[in-house]
Amino acid sequence: THPDWYRYCEGRLREMVETRSERRLTYQAVKKDGTIIWIDSVLNPMFHPDTGAFIGVVGVNRDISERKAKETEILEATRQSENLLKEIHHRVKNNFAILVSLISMQLVKSDSDTLTRSLTNLQLRIRTLALVHEMLYRSHDFEKISFSEYLHTLTAMISGTFSRRGVGVIFEADDALMDIETLIHHFLAVGWGL
């Protein structure tokens, strides 16, 4: 047994004797040539038939080093994927924010009501995309999000945009999951009616 695993193995063996039941251990061991390997052990305690005293262990050990190496590779690939996803999310979020800011700059310069409505409409569509993106990123399911949560956030965003016009919102919705394609198609293809 590798020295780092002595305490773990001793504790599990003590449990085995105290509970008089089988134990399964996964730990590192050192081969005669010094190579460190992973071991999966199934151990059964033996007791004297007359006295009931503990007399030994019958066990099977398997070298699972290859499996552990693959698990480590998978964990590393998952970690790299998560980092890449965070980076993509950060960049997309920044790009949406830049677009909204550029449109805001144009809104300030606009003297035309028609252009102001068009730019506001465009800004809301971009914010809608950003909202879908943010909710998908926070969701455990990258294909579906809560329609109720999405709609609630969206209505708050729209009413916030037009709060100076005295717009009020009453919100009621049952919770349901909706796939990303349906959400994007519905809220980007359909006009805002502003």
pLDDT in tens, 33-63: 999 999 999 999 999 999 999 999 999 999 9
168: tokens are 């009020």
59-63 contacts: CB < 8 A, separation 24 or more?
61/29, 63/37, 63/38, 63/39
Question: Model's pTM, two decimal places?
Answer: 0.54
pLDDT in tens, 114-155: 888 888 888 888 887 788 778 777 776 667 777 788 777 777
- Per the CB < 8 A criterion, the answer to whether 39 and 26 are in contact is yes
pLDDT range class, residue 9, cuts 50, 70, 90: very high
Give CA–CA dist 38/31, Å, rounded.
10
Nearest to 47 by CA among 7, 23, 19, 25: 19
- Per the CB < 8 A criterion, the answer to whether 37 and 63 are in contact is yes
- Per the CB < 8 A criterion, the answer to whether 154 and 188 are in contact is no
In terms of pLDDT, which residue wins out, 101 or 172? 101
Give CA–CA dist 38/27, Å, rounded.
6
Please tell me the predicted confidence (pLDDT) of residue 130: 83
State the SS3 of 55-98. Answer: EEEEEEEEECHHHHHHHHHHHHHHHHHHHHHHHHHHHHHHHHHH
> Helix, strand, or coil here: 146?
strand
Describe the crossing of helices 113-138 and 180-189 by its angle, rounded to 10 degrees. 170
Q: Supply the Cα-derived Rg of the chain in whole angstroms.
A: 31
